[in-house]
Amino acid sequence: MADTRADLLQGTLDLLILKTLALGPLHGWGISKRIRQLSSEVLQIGQGSLYPALYRLEDRDWITAEWGISPEGRRAKFYRLTAVGRRQLSTETESWRLFSLAVNHVLQAT
Amino acid sequence: MRWLARVRRRVKLLLRRADVEREMDDEMRFHLEMEAEELEHAGHDPAEATRRALREFGGLERYKDDARDSRGGRWMDDAAQDIRYALRVLRQSRSFSTVAVLTLALGVGANTAIFSVVRGVLLEPLPYTEPERLVDVSSVMQGRHTSVSPPDFLDWRSQSRSFSRLAAYFLSTTNLIGVGEPERLTQARVSSNFFEVLGVSTQLGRTFRSGEDEGSAPRVAILSDGLWRRRFGADPRIVGKTISLDGFATEIVGIAPASIRFPDGVDLWLTTRFEPRDVAASARGARWIGVVGRLAPDAVLAGARNEMAAIAGRLALQDPSHNEGVGVAVVPLRENIVGDVRAPLLILLGAVGFVMLIACVNVASLSLGRTAAREAEIAVRTALGANRSRIARQLLTESLVLSAAGGVVGLVLAFVLTRTLIGLSPGDLPRLDTVRVDVSVAAFALALAIASGALFGVVPALHFSASALHDRLRAGGRSGSGGTRPASARARRLLVVAEVALAIVLLAGAGLLLRSVAGLRAVDPGFRPGGVSTFTVSLSPVRYPHADEQRVFAAALLDRITRLPGVDGAAVTFSLPLSNSGFGFTFEIRGRPVVSGPSEPRAQVRVATPDYFRVMGIPLLRGRAFTAEDRAESPQVVVISEEAARRYWPNEDPIGQVITTGWGREEKGKRFGGEIVGIVGDVRQFNLANGPTPHIYGPFAQRPLDELTVVMRASSPASTVLAAARNVVRELDDELPIYDARTLDDMVADSVAQRRFYALLLAGFAALALMLAAVGIYGVIAYSVQRRRREIGVRIALGATRERVVAMVMRQGIVLVVTGTAIGLAGAAVLTRLLRGLLFSVTATDPLTFIAAPVLLVGVAVVACVLPARRAGGVDPAVAIRSMD
């Protein structure tokens, strides 16, 4: 599948990150790997998009960051969802559902 | 709470930049390593893995930049960068920065100091409950506000509905005895509801109870906070104790809060305790108290005024001999207290605002000059990609940094200046205690600094344009000769013209005020103050209850004082001329019909011992003065002043006529007056500006007093004489403090103190403006000379003499100055009208001042132009032509 890095809308990326973190705190690399795994290698988030998105989300207080030790024993910065972020996640998910539903309707029209 | 975390993050970004960068690096590196590891596990060889990972990662720096952008607070980064750059640039041109900061600091400092005075005196509300509903009520006679008589006050109180409360007050002095050194205190005698009118309560104890102001009530007092701290060590147990005032036991019932200082200068409050004779119907003409009131909740000022006018009318009909033509004025209390000084203070604020403008103009002009010199640097930056707004922002930041520095230094200066102002100000400037540099004043200074920074920063920032810079770069600076003048030079010249105009206005105003003060000082007060000193004592009614005791004491006092070494003569009187006090009465002339109302004869009434006129240097014009023969049992005699003779005996000889004054009317058969035996010269009683007032003098022996003002003419220095006099008094009565000890020269000087204060301040601003304008002119001319060096070199090479070059440069400067002067004089002619209230002996467009000011300015400008002009004359043509500007 083509590298969808450039095509991903910013808001969609935010949604993916929030959802990934809803499953548990992760460091930046872990987030990109999890998204890859969950999308069966379809969605590959480049570092150039990932980190700006992470910092943006942190600035809005939807996620918080903390330095910790990775399972491999290395020092890494872990991100976690905040309560506000959790609320935002459900809002964004709902918006996405409506959006994709609408797009489907248009595509199915004959 | 979220925003708190955000603010913390931003602050961390700003201050711990390196840490944040390092974190980002660590995070990226971790990602890179994990990426590489995964690739390794997938089978790639390590080096290859790293290379691929790096490729995946792609230009680290680029992503870091994007990451940085999304962190937010980008503008803070830019601003920090701008500020750092500005500091570096300003540090490099140290002389410019120093001059600019100092100039701004002077402007901000002076303005802030004056503003702190204006804020305290004019703006800050009075420290009472709902102060805007407090009013001062006074009588009006012949268009002038005067004090009120107790019978009128009582009638107003019972008849008016517009006031929820009315209270009377008057100031007098009292001797505090028995607590260490005896001291004379200023006491305010007030109605028992006085504190309720103001809406304040005591910090300790109680206020007066109703009925405590009756003549028969026990004596009670409320101390001021200042007195309590100063004499009683802020001891709370003083409440309930008794002190001796004038020999009377007085119980202290309360301590007033520190913020209450009404009436001005009061040490303690007692109650009015009017005697029956004070409130009798016959005393309606004796006007000596003040009245303060609070408007009723449903009343307005206009309504109160109408009602009081009606009441005044009724009283005039009821008692025309005293109240015919007497009106009532109701004035808001704040107006009453500060009304007189509002105009001069606002004028000073305007004047110092001019100084600030001149300072800004100067710094703008300097900045323009510098910007022109930095054209190359700016052109390079433009070429490297900075757009016009970015560069303008940079220049503006430099201006703001300068003005912030100027503001800080200015604030420190303001602190010092405010202290100095308070110290120098005339004693009668009201509400001086509220003047201080506090948060609002500091905010003003800061706002002023930033505003000036924006003002003069905008000029260079707006001034250049990108395309013009291109041309300049290409042309390599070959322009700048006589033909094409860059716009910046023209702008600078305009600025100089503006500066000169503003400076002229200030110089004219200062000149007018200075001449007014000089004119006042030149007025003959009617006596010779040189070598005369004075002090006053107030005899206790307990120790000296009757005229005999007072007479004896005065005689003993004078006898001892005249025997002091160096003393040529001494006399006793009261209420000296120009001492800001008066004591006037109407009088009747025997053989003439009694006239009532406004045309009734009035004069200032005094008693004095025989040597008074000689000691004071008041000339005896006709007849005789008092002698020792005019004793208590001798026929009553008086001496009148020339003005009294002129006014009331225009066509006849007053000597031999008999007059009777209203003083003592309440004591049957003891009215002050007598046969006129002499005429003496006039004295100015209230101030030097008004004409002389009629005076009637009687011998002290025939009517002694308990308040004795002693005047002594001596050849020894005043301090020695006064110290010796103090000892004499203490020998005669060790419980008698002396006060108001000073020389007559000081007293005369004090009478013009307020005007002199304003004049000196305005002169200070004018001098400042002159100095700044001179610096501005010098800067512009020097810059012009430097820019035109090649042209000058060419001229000299072509045969122009050095003198002609110098003349050319000077002419350029003079043209600017003359233009500015013309505009300034026009402006001054309009603006000096504002000073009219303060002027004396000069008109608002006094020709002498309006000529002297430009002459002074032109003189200073010539000096400012001479240096660069001579440098122009000294240009070596060979060097100048060859140099590439």
Q: Which residues of A touch B53 (CB under 8 A)?
A: none
Closest CA–CA distance from residue A105 to any residue of chain B (Å): 35
What per-residue confidence (pLDDT) applies to A19? 92
A110 domain-assigned: no
Q: How confident is the model at residue B281 (pLDDT cuts 50, 70, 90)?
A: confident
Total Cβ atoms within 10 A of residue B420:
11
pLDDT at A43: 85
Query: How far A80 CA sits from the closest chain B CA (Å)?
Result: 15
What domain range includes position A44?
Answer: 10-105
Say how many domains are in chain A: 1
Give the residue from A29, A54, A82, A88 with the most B CB atoms within 10 Å of its CB, the best one to mutate: A29
pLDDT of the residue at B649:
92
Nearest to A51 among B5, B35, B67 (CB): B67
What average pLDDT does this structure show over B273-278?
86
Contact call for B27 and A84, based on CB within 8 A: no
Phi then psi for B699, rounded to 5 degrees? -70, 140
Q: Distance of CA B55 to CAs A48, B25, B60, Å?
A: 12, 17, 10
B816: closest CA among B769, B879, B864, B756? Answer: B864
The answer to which of B113-127, B393-407, B479-493, B789-803 has the lowest mean pLDDT is B479-493
Distance from CA of B75 to the nearest CA of A (A): 15
Angle between helices B802-831 and B847-873 (to 10 degrees): 150
Tell me the pLDDT band of B483, cut-offs 50, 70 and 90. very low
What does the pLDDT average to over B479-508? 74
Joined together, the tokens standing for residue A109 give 């029209």
Task: Specify the CATH number for the domain of residue A71.
Answer: 1.10.10.10
| Interface contact B26-A77, CB threshold 8 A | yes
Give how far B299 is from chain A: nearest CA, Å.
Answer: 57
For residue B820, what pLDDT is reported? 93
pLDDT value at position B96?
Answer: 83
Stretch B50-73: mean pLDDT? 64
Residues of B in contact with A29 (CB under 8 A): 30-31, 34-35
Q: Residue B58 pLDDT more than 60? A: no
B71·A59 Cβ contact <8 A: yes
* Helix, strand, coil percentages for chain B (3-state, nearest 5): 55, 15, 30
Positive or negative torsion for Cα B433, B434, B435, B438: positive
**In the A/B pair of chains, how many CB contacts fall below 8 A?**
61
Q: How far is B19 from chain A (nearest CA, A)?
A: 13
Angle at B832 between CA B829 and CA B838, to 5 degrees: 150
> Within an 8 Å CB–CB cutoff, is residue B74 touching chain A?
no
Residue B752 CA: distances (Å) to CA of B419, B462, B672, B693, B746: 22, 49, 33, 18, 10
**Dist CA A81 CA A25 (whole Å):** 7
Q: Residue B471 has what pLDDT?
A: 53
* For A44, nearest residue in chain B (alpha carbons): B56
pLDDT band at B53 (very low <50, low <70, confident <90, very high): low
Interval B90-144: pLDDT, tens:
888 888 888 889 888 989 999 999 999 888 888 888 889 898 999 999 999 878 8
Restricting to B residues 13-72, those with a Cβ less than 8 Å away from any Cβ of A are 23-24, 26-28, 30-31, 33-35, 38, 56-58, 62-63, 66-67, 69-72
Contact: B58, A46; criterion CB under 8 Å: yes
Comparing B68-82, B111-125, B192-206, the range with the smallest average pLDDT is B68-82
In angstroms, the CA B551 to CA B573 distance is: 12
Rounded mean pLDDT of B649-678? 85
The whole-angstrom distance between A29's CA and the closest CA on chain B is 5
Write down the pLDDT at residue B167: 95
User: Which of B599, B598, B600, B605 has its CA nearest to residue B584?
Assistant: B605
Chain A partners within 8 Å of B9 (Cβ):
59
pLDDT at residue B336 is higher than 90: no
Using an 8 Å CB-CB cutoff, list chain A residues near B58. Answer: 46-48
What spatial distance separates the first Cα and last Cα of chain B, rounded to whole Å? 60
Stronger pLDDT, B491 or B649, i.e. the higher one: B649
State the pLDDT confidence band at B173, using cuts at 50, 70 and 90: confident
Least confident of B10-24, B579-593, B731-745: B10-24
Q: Is the pLDDT of residue B476 over 70?
A: no
Q: What is the average pLDDT across B728-746?
A: 91
Backbone angles phi, psi at A61, to 5 degrees: 65, 25
**pTM attached to this predicted model:** 0.75
Nearest CA in chain A to B23: A77
B470 has pLDDT over 60? no
3 state SS of B17: helix
- Residues B788-817 as b/e (b if ≥16 CB within 10 A, e otherwise) read bbbbbbbbbeeebeeeebbebbbebbbebb
pLDDT tens track for B205-228: 999 999 898 888 899 999 999 999
Per-residue pLDDT reduced to its tens digit, B812-834: 888 989 999 999 999 999 888 88
How much is the pLDDT for B72? Answer: 61
Position B182 pLDDT exceeds 90: no
If you measure CA to CA, which chain A residue comes closest to B5? A61
Q: What is the pLDDT of residue B421?
A: 87
Average pLDDT of the segment spanning B513-517:
92
Residue contact A52–B56, C-beta within 8 A = no
- The continuous run of DSSP H or E covering B556 comes out as helix B547-562
Asked whether residue A23 is assigned to any structural domain, the reply reads yes
Give residue-wise pLDDT tens across range B710-723. 999 999 999 999 99
* Chain A partners within 8 Å of B71 (Cβ): 55, 59
- Please check the confidence at residue B265 and state whether its pLDDT lies above 90: no
Q: Confidence band (pLDDT; 50, 70, 90) for B2?
A: low
What is the average pLDDT score of chain B?
85
Of all residues in chain B, the percent with pLDDT exceeding 70 is: 93
Q: Which residue has the tokens 């002459």?
A: B855
| A31/chain B closest Cα distance in angstroms | 11
CA distances from B204 to B197, B200, B239, B260, B272 (A): 18, 12, 8, 14, 22
Q: Tell me: the pLDDT tens digits for B225-236?
A: 999 999 898 889
Which range of A65-69, B80-84, B636-640, B861-865 scores highest in mean pLDDT? It is B636-640
Tokens describing residue B38: 């995964």
SS3 category, B619: coil
Mean pLDDT of B534-547: 88
Is the residue at A70 inside a domain? yes
d(C-alpha B412, C-alpha B99), whole Å: 17
Nearest CB partner across the interface for A28, out of B2, B5, B31: B31
- Chain B residues lying within 8 Å of A77, measured CB to CB: 23, 26-27, 30
Rounded to the nearest angstrom, the minimum Cα separation between A60 and chain B is 8
Interchain CB distance below 8 Å, B63 and A48: yes
Please give the pLDDT value at position B735: 85
- Selecting from B35, B58, B66 the residue whose C-beta is nearest the C-beta of A52 gives B66
Query: Is the residue at A4 inside a domain?
Result: no
- Give me the residue from A28, A46, A52 closest to B27, CB to CB: A28
Q: Express each pLDDT in B423-438 by its tens digit.
A: 888 877 788 778 888 8
Q: Is B622 on the interface with A (CB under 8 A)?
A: no
Q: What pLDDT score was predicted for residue B883?
A: 65
Give the pLDDT band (50/70/90) at residue B269: very high
